[in-house]
Chain A
Amino acid sequence: MHETNIQVGPASFRIGSVWKEVIDQIEMLYASYPKPKLTDYTVTLDAVRPWRRFIRPSAAINGDFMLPDAAPLPLDHGLLGVEMGVNLQMALGWRRQLILHASSVEKDGKSLIMSGESGSGKSTLSAILGHRGWRFMGDEFALINHDNGFAMPYPRMISLKNEAIKTMKKEAPHAQFGPLMKDTPKGDIQHIVPPADAIRKMEQGAKPALLLFPNFGYDAEIREIFPSEVFMRLTQASTNFVGLGETGFNTLKRLVLDVPAFEIAYQNGDEAENMINQLWEQL
């Protein structure tokens, strides 16, 4: 088994794989990240059968937390397998903060949290803003502290899907990209290493100042959302709200009471950026 350790924000992972190329790719993409000695979780890619290590290699995703019926992936999609395995550990195991399935960016010491379904554009928006004067904090999970309500960064390598790949190659042509994985269960996927300041400041949280629910592909519109609807949406966007019990309730309650929330519909990144700047200036 080949292995490496990675640190993403407050969480650390031991990644193991029977295929060296997967670990090489991880080490390349996470080269500028701190390397922890101790880790919170283990994720491994194993051959589904001994001979499937060599013949039509097929990777089963294993780890401390596992989905028993998770479909194996071809070796070409090994990075996606690691990403899925790491996400699963966080979603099922993390208790130190309230997890929101959301992207986040920071400016002036305050954070903007964007939550939405897959395809809403939250990842791409955070990646774009991270190259336009904001500090990228994460494209997948926003971690909300129980004690002070701050959003903590989780700046893993950004997972770009389909059209977003082209968008980011134009936006950040000099950024480091991982291998293009074609025709995965989620479409075409390519990873991009976050900007250097995102990694350097990955221990610095920021007080949430604005919550957004982006909707890509619709006519431009901004709609304010009441706290009760925000609460309902964020309970659905949190993987550990129920498990955290009263602590999670109090953390989420404070977030929805303290932070204004809006839904924005937009057709492209420039349009969304204008709306975000407009809302940000009104805070």
Chain B
Amino acid sequence: MADSYKIRDVGNLILQHLDYMSLLYDRQSGITHIIAEPAPQIIEALGQDVMKAAQIEHILKKQYDVQMFEDESSDSFEDIIIARLDEFVDLGLAEKIISI
């Protein structure tokens, strides 16, 4: 079963879109993360909820015209979402709820 993800403390994050990059300020650590698409959109889709990557993919595909440039080596959109979520976990911004 796929793992679920949750933003640790969404109330302590400030997300500011700039251009092709966005700023994510974490009040708890005092660190500003500069993040590229689709990372900010993943955070907005997750909000305060607990979700699996497939659910986030569903939301993003409804909200945005997601286009993938596919070749043999390219990851699926879900793989990209999981990679970003795991980075959030590594940065202490999100937690992974492992399904058994």
A226–B20 contact, CB under 8 A? yes
Q: Chain B interface residue count: which class? A: 10 to 19
Interface of chain A, main secondary structure:
helix
B23–A253 contact, CB under 8 A? yes
A-B interface, 8 closest residue pairs, ranked by CB to CB distance from nearest:
A228-B21, A227-B18, A226-B19, A228-B18, A249-B25, A245-B30, A228-B19, A227-B19
- A168 within 8 Å of B (CB atoms): no
Chain B, range 12-32, C-beta contacts under 8 Å to A: 14, 16, 18-23, 25, 27, 30, 32
B25–A246 contact, CB under 8 A? yes
Shortest CB-to-CB span from B17 to chain A, Å, is 10
A232–B18 contact, CB under 8 A? no
Chain A residue numbers with a CB within 8 Å of B34 are 228, 231-232
In the complex the two chains form, what is the Cα distance from A249 to B15 in whole Å?
Answer: 11
The interface bits of chain B over 22-49 (1 if a CB of A lies within 8 angstroms of the residue's CB, else 0) are: 1101010010101000000000000000
Residues of A near any B CB (own CB < 8 A)? 226-228, 231-232, 235, 242, 245-246, 249, 253, 256-257
Shortest CB-to-CB span from B12 to chain A, Å, is 10
In the complex the two chains form, what is the Cα distance from A231 to B23 in whole Å?
Answer: 9
In the complex the two chains form, what is the Cα distance from A228 to B32 in whole Å?
Answer: 12
A231–B30 contact, CB under 8 A? no
The answer, among B21, B22, B23, B30, for a CB contact under 8 Å with A242, is B30
B16–A253 contact, CB under 8 A? yes
Closest B residue to A253 using CB positions: B16
Chain A residue numbers with a CB within 8 Å of B25 are 246, 249
Q: A227-B18, A246-B14, A246-B30 are in contact. List 11 more A-B contacts (CB 8 A).
A: A226-B18, A227-B19, A228-B18, A228-B19, A228-B20, A228-B21, A249-B23, A249-B25, A249-B32, A253-B16, A257-B18
Shortest CB-to-CB span from B47 to chain A, Å, is 21
Closest B residue to A252 using CB positions: B32
Given contacts A246-B27, A249-B25, contact A235 B18 (CB under 8 A): no
Shortest CB-to-CB span from B31 to chain A, Å, is 8
Shortest CB-to-CB span from B6 to chain A, Å, is 23
Chain A residue numbers with a CB within 8 Å of B21 are 226, 228
Given contacts A235-B32, A242-B30, contact A249 B14 (CB under 8 A): yes
In the complex the two chains form, what is the Cα distance from A249 to B12 in whole Å?
Answer: 13
In the complex the two chains form, what is the Cα distance from A235 to B23 in whole Å?
Answer: 12
Chain B residue numbers with a CB within 8 Å of A228 are 18-23, 34
